[in-house]
Amino acid sequence: MDNSISVSQVNTQEDVKEFLRPIFFGLAEEDLDELAQTAIVRSFPAGAVLCQEGEEGDALYIIVQGHVDIVKQFLDDESERFLRSSGPGEVVGEMALLQEGGRTATVRAVEPLTVLEIGRDSFLTVLGRSPSLSVRILVRLTGRLRDADRQAITDLSQANKELTRALRQLERMDQAKSDFIQVSAHELRTPVAALMGYAQMMQYNSTVQEDPGLQPLVEGVVTSTKRLHRVFNSILDVSRVVTGGIEIHRSPVNILVVIEGIFLEFKQVQEERDLTLEQEGLADLPFYPGDPDLMYKMFYHLVNNAIKYTPDGGRIAVTGRMVDVPNLGRCAQVAVEDTGIGIASQELDLIFEKFYRIGEVALHSSGTTSFKGGGPGLGLTIAQGVVLAHGGRIWAESPGCDEETCPGSRFVVQLPYVEEA
C-alpha cells in the first residue's frame, strides 16, 4: 500500500498538524501545535544522507514522500550492514535525541525524498509533557531492537553455517596436503638414504681421497644428501605431531649429555661464525624419564633455531634448574637463550606453527645454520610437539624484534617428572 502524501498537503501549519496527528496519536492539541510550528519541510535528492552514523543528532525526521535505507557500518572495515527501510509516515533519527552520544546508524535517501524536520529542543519539550507519547516511542524502539536482534541472529546463523562449511573444506584440504607431504616424505626418504650410503662409500674410496679435485665434490654430495634426509625426517616428525602419533619410550635421560652432544654437532658452525655456546646448571638436573631420541630432537631444534637467528659473534646459552609448577609438579626447566634478532610480540605464539618463519628468511641459503638461513620452518613445531607429548610446557619470551640492537629471545621448556607405572 502506498502511504505517500503530496508535498502540497503539508504547505501550511494546519496541514503539518493534521499530518502529524496520526503519527503522534493522542498528543494534546497544544503539543501538536508546537510541533507543527517548529517543523520544517525539507527535500533531499536520491543518495543524500539525512543522518550520519557517529554525528551528533540535533533533529528527527518524519518521512512525507520517498523511502530511506538505514544502515550501520562494520567496525573492522568500510562495509555496511543493512538494518531496515522506512517510508512515508515513519519517524527516523529520534534515538539520538533520547540518548547521549552520536547517531547510531546512517539514514540515506534511496529516492527523491521529502521530510518534516523537528528540532531536538521542541521534540524533547513536548515529550516531557506527554507520558503516553514517551511510552509509544519506547514501544516502537523496543520493536526495532527486537527486529534487529532477530535479523542479527539470522545473519549470525547463516554466517556460522558458511564458516562451518569453509572450515570443513579447509580441514579436508589441510588433511589432503598433510597426507601428500607425509607420503612424499616416506617415498623420497628411502632413495635418499640409499643415495647417502653410496655417497659415503664414495667419500671413503681411496681413489676419491687421493684426488683433491674429487674430494670437495663428494663431500658436497654427502652434505646436501644429509640435509635432504634431515628435512624428510622433520616432515615425518611434524606429521606425527599433527596427528598425535608421537610415541614416548621413556628411559633415564641425562640432559647435560644431550646438550653437550648437540653442541658438539654444531662445533664447526660455532667456529666458523665465532659463536659462543655455553651451558649452566644442567649438571645439577637429575636424570629425566623421557624418550632419548625425542629429547635430542627437541633440544637440537631449539639450539639450531637460536643459532639461525643469532648474528656472527653472538652467544647461545642453555641453562637448567628444578622448579615447582602448578598442575605439573616438580619439573626440569631448561631455557635456551640467545643474543639474536628477537621476536615481535605478535609472533610469540605463531612461531610454533608449522612452516612459520620470522622475517624474510633466505630461501636459498647454503645451510640452515647460517644467519637467517633457509629451512622448512618445522623445528619449533617438532620441539613443541615433543614437549607436549611428555606432558610439559614450552613458550618463547622476547622484548621484541630488532636486527640492529639484537634484543635476543628465550625459549623455556618445563618437563614434569612422572612416576613410573
For residue 6, pLDDT beyond 50: no
Asked if residue 145 belongs to a domain, the reply is no
- Asked if 32 and 169 sit in the same domain, the reply is no
Calculate ∠ Cα 246-247-251, nearest 5°: 130
Percentage of the chain with pLDDT > 90?
31
> Which among 237, 295, 231, 308 is positioned nearest to 269, based on CA atoms?
308
Identify the burial level of 56 via C-beta atoms within 10 angstroms of its C-beta, where 0-12 means exposed, 13-18 middle and 19 or more buried: exposed
Q: How far apart are CA 125 and CA 121, in angstroms?
A: 6
Asked if residue 362 belongs to a domain, the reply is yes
Asked if residue 63 belongs to a domain, the reply is yes
C-alpha neighbours within 13 Å on the C-beta side of residue 162: 6
Q: What residues make up the domain containing 95?
A: 7-129
- Asked if 287 and 352 sit in the same domain, the reply is yes
Among 88, 114, 129, the domain boundary falls at 129
Residues 188-210: what's their mean pLDDT?
80
pLDDT at 204: 80
Among 111, 129, 147, the domain boundary falls at 129
**CATH number of the domain residue 362 falls in:** 3.30.565.10
DSSP 401: B
Are the C-beta atoms of 413 and 302 separated by less than 8 Å? yes
- Asked if 172 and 87 sit in the same domain, the reply is no
Tens-digit pLDDT profile for residues 18-61: 888 888 887 888 888 888 888 999 999 999 999 888 888 888 89
Predicted confidence band of residue 363 (pLDDT cuts 50, 70, 90): very low
Asked if residue 135 belongs to a domain, the reply is no
Residues 238-243: what's their mean pLDDT?
66
For residue 133, pLDDT beyond 80: no
> Which among 26, 44, 214 is positioned nearest to 127, based on CA atoms?
26
Q: Which residue has the higher pLDDT, 229 or 292?
A: 292
Q: Mean pLDDT for the chain?
A: 82
DSSP 205: -
Q: Which residue has the higher pLDDT, 164 or 234?
A: 164
Asked if residue 198 belongs to a domain, the reply is yes
Tens-digit pLDDT profile for residues 276-290: 999 999 999 999 999
- Asked if 294 and 412 sit in the same domain, the reply is yes
pLDDT at 420: 47
- Asked if 312 and 190 sit in the same domain, the reply is no
Q: What radius of gyration, in Å, describes the C-alpha atoms of the chain?
A: 36
Are the C-beta atoms of 311 and 406 separated by less than 8 Å? yes
Tens-digit pLDDT profile for residues 317-332: 999 999 999 989 999 9
- Asked if 66 and 175 sit in the same domain, the reply is no
Among 203, 221, 239, the domain boundary falls at 221
Residue 399 CA from chain centroid, whole number: 20
Cell of 342: 628477537
Predicted confidence band of residue 365 (pLDDT cuts 50, 70, 90): very low
pLDDT at 150: 75
Percentage of the chain with pLDDT > 70?
79
Q: How far apart are CA 385 and CA 346, in angstroms?
A: 21
- Asked if 215 and 251 sit in the same domain, the reply is no
- Asked if 394 and 275 sit in the same domain, the reply is yes
- Asked if 192 and 273 sit in the same domain, the reply is no
For the stretch 216-221, contacts whose Cβ atoms lie closer than 8 Å and that sit 24 or more positions apart, written own/partner, are: none
Cell of 419: 612416576
Domain total of the chain: 3
Asked if residue 1 belongs to a domain, the reply is no
pLDDT at 366: 46
Q: Which residue has the higher pLDDT, 6 or 246?
A: 246
Range in 165-169, 189-193, 362-366, 401-405 with the lowest mean pLDDT? 362-366
Q: How far apart are CA 248 and CA 263, in angstroms?
A: 24
pLDDT at 3: 44
pLDDT at 284: 93
> Which among 355, 323, 396, 344 is positioned nearest to 238, based on CA atoms?
355
Residues 125-145: what's their mean pLDDT?
73
Q: Which residue has the higher pLDDT, 366 or 67?
A: 67
The number of helices, as runs of H, and strands, as runs of E, in the chain is 11, 15
Q: Which residue has the cell 658452525?
A: 269
**CATH number of the domain residue 17 falls in:** 2.60.120.10
Tens-digit pLDDT profile for residues 209-237: 888 888 888 888 877 777 776 676 666 66
For residue 195, pLDDT beyond 60: yes
pLDDT at 330: 93
Q: Count of residues for the chain? A: 421
pLDDT at 21: 86
Is the backbone of residue 294 left (phi > 0), alpha (psi -120 to 50) or beta? alpha
Tens-digit pLDDT profile for residues 299-353: 999 999 999 999 999 999 999 999 999 989 999 999 999 999 999 888 887 888 7
For residue 85, pLDDT beyond 70: yes
Are the C-beta atoms of 291 and 387 separated by less than 8 Å? no
- Asked if 277 and 174 sit in the same domain, the reply is no
- Asked if 352 and 313 sit in the same domain, the reply is yes
Torsion, CA 85, CA 87, CA 91, CA 93, rounded to 10: 40
Asked if residue 366 belongs to a domain, the reply is yes
pLDDT at 5: 46
For residue 203, pLDDT beyond 60: yes
Q: Which residues contact 29 (CB under 8 A, 6 or more apart)?
A: none
For residue 182, pLDDT beyond 80: no
Provide the H-helix boundaries in 130-213: 131-203, 206-210
- Asked if 288 and 361 sit in the same domain, the reply is yes
Q: Which residue has the higher pLDDT, 352 or 271?
A: 271
pLDDT at 359: 54
Asked if residue 236 belongs to a domain, the reply is no
For residue 1, pLDDT beyond 50: no
